[in-house]
Amino acid sequence: MSTLITGIGSLVTNDPGIGAGPLGLVEDAAVVVDGDRIAWVGPAAAAPAADESFDAAGRALLPGFVDSHSHLVFAGDRTAEFNARMSGQSYSAGGIRTTVAATRAASDAELDANLARFLREALRQGTTTVECKSGYGLTVEDEARALRIAAGHTPETTYLGAHVVAPEFADDPAGYVELVTGEMLDACAPHAKWVDVFCERGAFDGDQARAVLTAGAARGLVPRVHANQLSYGPGVQLAVELGAASADHCTHLTDEDVAALAGSDTVATLLPGAEFSTRAAYPNARRLLDAGAAVALSTDCNPGSSFTSSMAFCIAVAVREMGMTPDEAVHAATATGARALRRTDVGTVTVGARADLLLLDAPSHVHLAYRPGVPLTAAVWRNGVREV
Ligand code: NIG
Ligand code: FE
């Protein structure tokens, strides 16, 4: 079954070979979806026939958002912590333990239903690919079940046993790293594509992070790192050295960190929801882009530091507060997000790509930043199926 989407006022392809600029913009465009893939892209006037047709009525079509960093297997929330923070308290990694307690107490069915609800919430806002981490279990069984549950919904699953030291190991962090790199890794690796570590004061130092990432890599998991979020530190350099797909947060960077990212294949994934929700200074996307680093945007959706599933919100904040142009932010939320997940089948509207598409209730992708907080989703296709 093929569908011709025609009357597209403005199409973001993310292929400079197809259209104008880095976004590969085509005006008065059409797209043919065949099964779960894009079969044709070009000017509406030249479009081939298809079984069905859909009139975009002059609105903008773009690749579905690729949200490359989330923590969605959890129970409970942290309303009280957020409220206290907005009344002046500061954020610390320790709050993670509150969610760990609630998550451990939840049933599999409850965690699965929570995850499904958040993924649906994201889909309604145009997000068609979501990476999902463990990290609120911190026991062998609880981490493995988090990843098992996540793997039922997305192939982009990340083992984050090294989120914080489990409360049982408060006096023996080395023992916890041993567990994370040993028995817990054995139980989790079959359900995970990635390995991650929160490299930060109050979580794991550079040596511990290296041990976690290299142990994961030895089991075939590809590294990604929570790096330089709350303070300067070794996370970014470690990510680059170990060939991580992405260094995430990148809020506190030295010139050497920026140069290392720019000279590598490691994507700098910025998570403005975290700075928004912790009332912290935003990362400087302009500095990274000007140096030549690849920059992705993602929600970091989690109950502690960034409880938003909205990629549009992240785009708007990145444009207003982090020095990105609307074009750069949209590219970061689609094509570069895909790159951060080493995916070539999502993040573009090109022949052969997955038919993951977001139709906006707006004539241009620029409206994502220009009309902050406004629900602009007109339709969403995932794998060629109209979902919204
Ligand atoms: O990415 N930085 C570590 N992990 C999350 C926070 C998780 C939490 O506070 O529950 C983050 O911001
Ligand atoms: Fe995170």
Structure confidence by residue, pLDDT tens digits, 263-276: 999 999 999 999 99
Helix/strand number for the chain, H first, E second: 15, 17
The region of weakest confidence among 62-66, 94-98, 338-342 is 94-98
pLDDT 10s digits, 112-139: 999 999 999 999 999 999 999 999 999 9
Provide the pLDDT confidence category of residue 214 given band limits of 50, 70 and 90: very high
Considering only CA atoms, which of 281, 213, 201 is closest in space to residue 245?
213
From residue 213, give the alpha-carbon distance in Å to each of 19, 37, 228, 239, 305. Answer: 39, 34, 16, 9, 23
Provide the pLDDT confidence category of residue 367 given band limits of 50, 70 and 90: very high
* Whether 212 contacts 205, CB under 8 Å: no
pLDDT at 92 over 90: no
What confidence score (pLDDT) does residue 183 get?
Answer: 98
Tell me, yes or no, if the pTM score tops 0.95.
Answer: yes
* Whether 231 contacts 201, CB under 8 Å: yes
Atom of ligand 1 nearest to the CA of 306: 12
Two structure tokens written together for 200 = 């930060």
* Whether 280 contacts 91, CB under 8 Å: yes
From residue 154, give the alpha-carbon distance in Å to each of 100, 148, 318, 331, 384. Answer: 22, 10, 26, 22, 17
Residue 161, helix vs strand vs coil: strand
pLDDT at 94 over 80: no
pLDDT 10s digits, 8-40: 999 999 999 999 999 999 999 999 999 999 999
What confidence score (pLDDT) does residue 388 get?
Answer: 98
Q: Torsion over CA of 291, 294, 295 and 300, rounded to 10 degrees?
A: -130
Task: Tell me the torsion sign for CA atoms 350, 356, 359, 360.
Answer: negative
Atom of ligand 1 nearest to the CA of 136: 10
Cβ–ligand 1 distance for 99 under 6 Å, the answer yes
Atom of ligand 1 nearest to the CA of 95: 9
User: In testing the pocket of ligand 1, which one of 302, 307, 314 has its CB within 8 Å of the most ligand atoms?
Assistant: 302
Provide the pLDDT confidence category of residue 6 given band limits of 50, 70 and 90: very high
The region of weakest confidence among 94-98, 164-168, 273-277, 314-318 is 94-98
What confidence score (pLDDT) does residue 93 get?
Answer: 74
Task: Tell me the torsion sign for CA atoms 332, 11, 19, 325.
Answer: negative
Burial grade of 17 (CB within 10 A; 0-12, 13-18, 19 or more): exposed
pLDDT 10s digits, 188-205: 999 999 999 999 999 999
Place of tokens 């979580």: 203
Tell me, what DSSP letter sits at residue 171? T
Q: DSSP string of 71-95?
A: -----S--HHHHHHHHTTPPP-GGG
| CA-nearest residue, atom 9 of ligand 1 | 304
Orientation angle between helical segments 173-181 and 206-218, nearest 10 degrees? 20
Mean pLDDT, range 163-174, rounded to an integer:
98
**Residues with Cβ–ion distance below 5 A, ligand 2:** 300
Two structure tokens written together for 114 = 């929570």
What confidence score (pLDDT) does residue 298 get?
Answer: 99
One-letter amino acid for residue 253 of the chain: L
Task: Supply angle C-alpha 252, 99, 126, rounded to 5.
Answer: 70
Alpha-carbon distance 136 to 138, whole Å? 6
What confidence score (pLDDT) does residue 163 get?
Answer: 98
CA of 325 relative to ligand 1 center, distance in Å: 27
pLDDT at 91 over 90: no
Considering only CA atoms, which of 120, 125, 129 is closest in space to residue 359?
125
Cβ–ligand 1 distance for 198 under 6 Å, the answer yes
Q: Compute the mean pLDDT over every residue in the chain, rounded to the nearest whole number.
A: 98
% of the chain residues with pLDDT over 70: 100
* Whether 336 contacts 296, CB under 8 Å: yes
Place of tokens 């609880």: 142
List, in order of start, the domains of the chain with CATH numbers: 2-63+348-386 (2.30.40.10), 66-340 (3.20.20.140)
Mean pLDDT, range 250-266, rounded to an integer:
98
Task: Supply angle C-alpha 219, 209, 134, rounded to 5.
Answer: 65
Mean pLDDT, range 88-92, rounded to an integer:
86
